[in-house]
A and B are shown apart, each in its own frame.
Chain A
Amino acid sequence: MGDLVSRPENATALVTGASRGIGAAIAKGLAADGWAVAVNYRSDADGAKRTVQAIEAAGGRAVAIQGDVANGACEDLFERAEAELGPVMALINNAGVTADGLAVQLDDDDWSKVIDTNLTAAFRLTRRAVRSMIRARYGRVINIASVVGPRANAGQANYAAAKAGLIGMTKTVATEVARRGVTVNAVAPGFIETDMTADLAERAAEHIPARRPGKPEDVAAAVRYLASDDAGYVTGTTLYVDGGMSA
């Protein structure tokens, strides 16, 4: 690591699963910090378009790029992001799925689907990203993990395994590439209010020391910090954004 190195010009941030929720907030936040942003989405083209429009309206650069990270979209995503915007110097592995059920009832498909998207796809994208980053002597990989994984959540054995795996991967890859100016970190959101969780918010709040759910922008703020030049000496860590849930 060593010296403070500045982000190269035209540096692009690839954010997976950025059509809405936390991913969209991350994309907008990074764009506000001067990153060109590749807004990846799987099926919500309208959502991705809205994210891109919001970024452009604020004076930023972004393109929407369709691709299912769990089904081999990796190389293609990078090629399109680099052709349309610039070299990918930040990768935000945000795309995630759930398929909940008690372990005794979880079938192989539910297990594989969650591991493939949340963990294996993140690894493949990380491997691809880091190859360029180590040669550029600069890079940021930020994995969106979860409070689930480091701690239990009945009904999510697959998700917990994937997210705990993501944190383990984060630490090891971070040590492998640290001296090339590439940092690898995780952000672990707690209960964040999104479309997906809206009806659970009130009930969940009583288990959160802050007594309220977080906002996607709370998670984006952590990502923006880890992606910044100021965070060049922060690597291999997990930043919890959970209103104290994990404390």
Chain B
Amino acid sequence: MAATVTPEAVEKTIIEALPQFGVEESDISRDATFEDLDVDSLDLAELSQIIEDEYGVQLKGDDVGRIKTVGDAIDMVVTRAG
């Protein structure tokens, strides 16, 4: 069963997932760009899968290409779920 999508829940999922890509938890904020966090396209593809597994929300390659910041990612998931 997919979890309910709320901005808070998605934010938590993303914050918990990012350290496995080598991101320091203290560097994570809504405004932080994935580029600054050194999170590349493959990391984002993997993050998309984690989100899909958790919430059943599918992000396409195009969507992922438009995501610049952590906040963008959260908003994208919430929008796609709605």
Q: Which B residues are CB-close (under 8 A) to A176?
A: 42
User: What's the minimum C-beta distance from B43 to chain A, rounded to whole angstroms?
Assistant: 10
Judge whether A131 and B42 touch: CB under 8 Å.
no
Is B13 at the interface (CB under 8 A from chain A)? Answer: no
Docked CA distance A135–B49 (Å):
9
Is A180 at the interface (CB under 8 A from chain B)? Answer: yes
Is B24 at the interface (CB under 8 A from chain A)? Answer: no
Q: Which B residues are CB-close (under 8 A) to A179?
A: 42
Convert A160-191 into 0s and 1s, putting 1 for each residue whose CB lies closer than 8 angstroms to a CB of B: 00000000000000001101100000000000
Please count how many residues in chain B sit with their CB below 8 Å of the partner chain's CB atoms. 4
Docked CA distance A134–B50 (Å):
12
Interface residues of B in 41-56 (CB under 8 A from A): 42, 45-46, 49
Docked CA distance A176–B45 (Å):
11
Q: Which A residues are CB-close (under 8 A) to B42?
A: 134, 176-177, 179-180
Main SS class of interface, A: helix
Bin the interface of chain A by size: under 10
Convert A111-141 into 0s and 1s, putting 1 for each residue whose CB lies closer than 8 angstroms to a CB of B: 0000000000000000000010011000000
Docked CA distance A125–B45 (Å):
17
Docked CA distance A16–B45 (Å):
26
- Nearest residue (CB) in A for B53 is A135
Docked CA distance A131–B53 (Å):
12
User: What's the minimum C-beta distance from A90 to chain B, rounded to whole angstroms?
Assistant: 20
Q: Which A residues are CB-close (under 8 A) to B49?
A: 131, 135
Q: Which B residues are CB-close (under 8 A) to A135?
A: 46, 49
Docked CA distance A196–B3 (Å):
52
User: What's the minimum C-beta distance from B48 to chain A, rounded to whole angstroms?
Assistant: 10
Docked CA distance A131–B52 (Å):
12
Q: Which B residues are CB-close (under 8 A) to A180?
A: 42
Docked CA distance A131–B45 (Å):
9
Interface residues of B in 36-69 (CB under 8 A from A): 42, 45-46, 49
Docked CA distance A135–B45 (Å):
10
Q: Which A residues are CB-close (under 8 A) to B46?
A: 134-135
Docked CA distance A179–B38 (Å):
14
- Nearest residue (CB) in A for B46 is A134
Q: Which A residues are CB-close (under 8 A) to B45?
A: 134
Q: Can you report 10 residue pairs joining A to B where beta carbons are below 8 Å apart?
A: A131-B49, A134-B42, A134-B45, A134-B46, A135-B46, A135-B49, A176-B42, A177-B42, A179-B42, A180-B42
Instruction: Give B residues with C-beta under 8 Å from A.
Output: 42, 45-46, 49
Instruction: Give A residues with C-beta under 8 Å from B.
Output: 131, 134-135, 176-177, 179-180
Given A134-B45, A176-B42, A180-B42, output 7 extra A-B contacts at Cβ < 8 Å.
A131-B49, A134-B42, A134-B46, A135-B46, A135-B49, A177-B42, A179-B42
